[in-house]
Structure formats: C-alpha cells, structure tokens
C-alpha cells in the first residue's frame, strides 16, 4: 500500500547513508519534504542532491547529534525551510570500538555515546514537539535495536542508549498523544547496509544469518518501508510501541542454531 505524505515535513537524522538514506528516499517519494541531517555534511548534501535531482523536496543540514546547539538549529532551520515539522526519525548513531564491557568503558566515552545516541534524540524531540503541536500533531520513529532488549558481550553504551529510546518514545506517546503526536520505536535485526558489509566478514555474516529465521538478512529498504508506515495515516492507532523487525531472531530459542548444526552433522555422518 502506498502512503501519502504529501506536504508533510520530516527530519531524518543519519540521513546521508544506510537506513537513513533509504528512509529519506521513501519519505520523499511519498510526498514529504525531507530534512537530511547528518554529521557528514558532504554526504547529507549528496543525499539531498539525489532527491532534488529526482524532482523531490529535500535539503541538507549538517548536524552533530552530540551538540545541543546544532540540534536546535536543525529544528529551526527545517521549520523555516519547509514551514513546520510533522515527523522526526531519530536514526543517527555514533559507535566506538571502545564501547566494550561495563568495566572497560571510561566516563568520557559514556558521556560521548549517550550524548549522541540518547540525549541528542531527546533534545531533537524537545525542539520538534512545539512545531508539531502548532500543526495539530505529528509522529516520531526512533531507530532502536535488539541490543536494547537483549544483552551482549560488548556495545554496553550502545545498548543502554537504545534501551533509553524505548523510554523516551513511550514518554512522548503518553504525554502528547491527546494532542495528536504519536511515537514508536523500531528494533531491527542485522540490516545489510554498506557499513555492515564493511564491518562483518563473510564468515561472521553467515553465522549471524543462522540466528535469523529468515532466508536473508534485512535491508535498509525494508526498514524504510516500516518507518513510512509508522508515520502514515495507516498507523494512527499505533503509539508507544516497539516494532521488532529482526527476521525472527528474537522469536527463536537461543539454542536453535546450535541444535540445527548438530542435526546437520548427524545427518552427514
């Protein structure tokens, strides 16, 4: 089903590449005016240029989601450029190799990663809500992660921030729902963006695929379609929820891949 977002204004953080770029494309194709926000200014400009070359409406806004002044400037500039704000997609993420086990992370890294990955989305939400209220409502989608729902051996700051997005989203849903603002999260499994291809070697990807119950890993376009749905009029009765799009990873008992491997070995003997 095609979603009609004609005339709506959307801010997409992390919009220069990967899931964010796919979201910018699908929202613009649905008729929205898109604010492409990214710490990578040239990348944001390329993304916005791609959309405008296709006859769509987009502008680039270089933004560091760890900088409160830049976040406020993003909301203000978007409202000035397009006449308001209807949607915010909190998609940007900052990662660091030092984000390991709890006892290995220093205080400065905690502050840096929580600032960009949790406080930044909260500040952008704060800046956007008055604009949404003035237009009779709006909607948020926060890109969380299964890491916010399940523990890992590393990425402690990342997991903590993603879990925090669940609380932020529910708070927005409860506090502003009667005024027409909705807020939901998406928790993806492994999505094959260019960054994922660069991060994981093929053997690790095959291992991770065994823990997903689908035949393939996810794509940015699949996530973008879900974002568009959550922002659209078809989702007006959905708020304060977490939409898990993980290829069935969280549906399976933890031992399923290991038991399958044992069965395959037995059959091969």
Catalytic (active-site) positions: 158
Nearest-CA neighbor of 250 among 143, 162, 165, 147? Answer: 147
d(CA 62, CA 53): 19
**Rg for the chain, CA atoms, rounded:** 19
List the structure tokens of 212: 């997903």
Helix, coil or strand: residue 97: coil
d(CA 98, CA 82): 39
- CA triplet 224, 226, 232: central angle to 5 degrees? 105
């Amino acid at each position: 089903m095609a979603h009609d977002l004609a005339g709506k204004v959307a801010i997409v953080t992390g919009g220069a590449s990967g899931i964010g770029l796919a979201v910018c494309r699908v929202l613009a194709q649905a008729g929205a005016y898109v604010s492409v926000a990214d710490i990578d200014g040239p990348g944001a400009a390329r993304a916005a240029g791609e959309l405008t070359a296709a006859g769509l409406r987009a502008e680039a806004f270089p933004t560091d989601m760890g900088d409160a002044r830049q976040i406020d400037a993003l909301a203000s500039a978007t409202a000035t450029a397009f006449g308001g704000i209807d949607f915010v997609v909190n998609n940007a993420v900052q990662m660091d190799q030092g984000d390991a086990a709890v006892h290995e992370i220093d205080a400065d890294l905690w502050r840096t990663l929580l600032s960009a990955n949790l406080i930044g989305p909260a500040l952008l939400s704060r800046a956007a809500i008055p604009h949404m209220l003035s237009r009779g409502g709006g909607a948020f989608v926060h890109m969380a992660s299964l890491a916010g729902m399940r523990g890992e051996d590393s990425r402690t700051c990342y997991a903590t921030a993603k879990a925090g997005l669940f609380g932020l989203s529910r708070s927005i849903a409860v506090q502003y729902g009667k005024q027409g603002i909705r807020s939901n999260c998406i928790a993806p499994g492994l999505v094959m963006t260019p960054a994922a291809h660069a991060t994981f070697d093929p053997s690790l990807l095959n291992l991770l695929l065994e823990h997903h119950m689908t035949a393939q890993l996810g794509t940015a376009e699949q996530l973008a379609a879900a974002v568009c749905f959550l922002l659209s009029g078809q989702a007006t009765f959905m708020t304060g929820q977490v939409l898990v799009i993980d290829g069935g990873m969280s549906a399976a008992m933890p031992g399923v891949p290991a038991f399958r491997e044992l069965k395959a070995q037995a059959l091969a003997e």
